[in-house]
Amino acid sequence: MSSVADEVARLRGTKSSTFRDLLTHPPFARLMAAQTVSSLGDWIGFIAVAALVKRLGGNVGAYAVAGVMMARMLPSILFGPLAGALVDRFDRKRIMIVADLSRAGLYASMPFLGSIWLIFLFSFVIESLSLLWTPARDASLPNLVPRRQLANANSLSLVTTYGALPFSASIFALVAGISSLLPYFKTHQESFALWIDGVSFLFSAFMVSRIPIRTPGSLTVGRFDMSRVWKDVVEGMRFLRENSLASAMTLGIVSAFSAVGAVLGLYIIFATDTLHAEPAGIGVLVTAFGLGMGVGMALVNKLVQAVERDVAFVWSLIGAAISLLAVAAMPNLSLAALLTVALGFFCGAAWVSGYVLLQENVADEYRGRTFGSITVLSRLGIFLSLAAFPALAGVIGPHRVRIGHQPIDLSGTRIALWVAGLGVILAAGMTRRGLSRFRVSRPKPLALVPKLKRPPTTGVFVAFEGVEGSGKGTQIRLAREWLESRGVDVLVTREPGGTELGERLREMLLSHETGHIEPRTEALLFAASRSQHVASVIRPALAEGKVVICDRYIDSSLAYQGWARGLGEQDVLTLNVWATQGLFPDLVILLHLEPEEGLLRSLEEPDRIEMESGDFHAKVSDAYLKIAEEHPERFVVIDASEAPEKVHEHVVEALRRVLKDREDDGDEG
Q: Which residues bind ligand TYD (CB under 6 A)?
A: 468, 472, 495-496, 526, 551-552, 556-557, 560-561, 609-610
Q: Which of 294/595 has CB closer to ligand TYD? A: 595
Find the shortest distance in angstroms from Cβ 1 to ligand TYD: 29
Q: Which of 424/591 has CB closer to ligand TYD? A: 591
Q: How many secondary structure helices (H) and strands (E) does the chain include? A: 27, 7
Helix, strand, or coil here: 624?
helix
Of all residues in the shown chain, the one whose CB is closest to ligand TYD is 560
Task: Round to whole Å and give the CA distance between 438 and 575.
Answer: 27
For helices 364-396 and 333-361, what crossing angle results, to 10°? 150
Find the shortest distance in angstroms from Cβ 544 to ligand TYD: 24
| Exposed/middle/buried for residue 214 (C-beta within 10 Å: 0-12, 13-18, 19+) | exposed
Q: Which of 333/491 has CB closer to ligand TYD? A: 491
Task: For 218-244, give the secondary structure using H, E and C.
Answer: HHHHCCCCHHHHHHHHHHHHHHHHHCH
DSSP state of 437: H
Find the shortest distance in angstroms from Cβ 468 to ligand TYD: 4
Q: Which of 346/560 has CB closer to ligand TYD? A: 560
Tell me if 465 sits within 8 A of 553, measured CB to CB.
yes
Find the shortest distance in angstroms from Cβ 552 to ligand TYD: 4
Q: Which of 45/598 has CB closer to ligand TYD? A: 598
| Residues present in the chain in total | 669
Find the shortest distance in angstroms from Cβ 466 to ligand TYD: 8
Find the shortest distance in angstroms from Cβ 652 to ligand TYD: 21
Phi, psi of 488 (to 5 degrees): -90, 140
Q: Which of 290/585 has CB closer to ligand TYD? A: 585
Find the shortest distance in angstroms from Cβ 560 to ligand TYD: 3
Task: Round to whole Å and give the CA distance between 522 and 169.
Answer: 58
Q: Which of 151/611 has CB closer to ligand TYD? A: 611
Task: For 180-225, give the secondary structure using H, E and C.
Answer: CCCHHHHHCHHHHHHHHHHHHHHHHHHHHHCCCCCCCHHHHHCCCC
Q: Which of 209/581 has CB closer to ligand TYD? A: 581
Angle at CA of residue 584, ends 627 and 492, nearest 5°: 105
Q: Which of 336/564 has CB closer to ligand TYD? A: 564
Residue type, 149: Q
> Omega into 496 within 30° of 0, i.e. cis?
yes
Task: Round to whole Å and give the CA distance between 624 and 638.
Answer: 12
Task: Name residue 588's beta-bridge partners.
Answer: 463, 635
Q: Which of 345/584 has CB closer to ligand TYD? A: 584
Find the shortest distance in angstroms from Cβ 607 to ligand TYD: 6
Task: Round to whole Å and give the CA distance between 381 and 261.
Answer: 7
Phi, psi of 464 (to 5 degrees): -105, 130
Q: Which of 47/564 has CB closer to ligand TYD? A: 564
Task: Name residue 530's beta-bridge partners.
Answer: none
Report H helices in 145-179: 150-162, 164-179
Task: Round to whole Å and give the CA distance between 169 and 282.
Answer: 8
Find the shortest distance in angstroms from Cβ 494 to ligand TYD: 6
Helix, strand, coil shares of the chain as percentages rounded to 5? 75, 5, 20
Find the shortest distance in angstroms from Cβ 99 to ligand TYD: 45
Task: Round to whole Å and give the CA distance between 36 and 22.
Answer: 15
Find the shortest distance in angstroms from Cβ 469 to ligand TYD: 6
Find the shortest distance in angstroms from Cβ 654 to ligand TYD: 19
Tell me if 655 sits within 8 A of 485, measured CB to CB.
no
Q: Which of 163/562 has CB closer to ligand TYD? A: 562
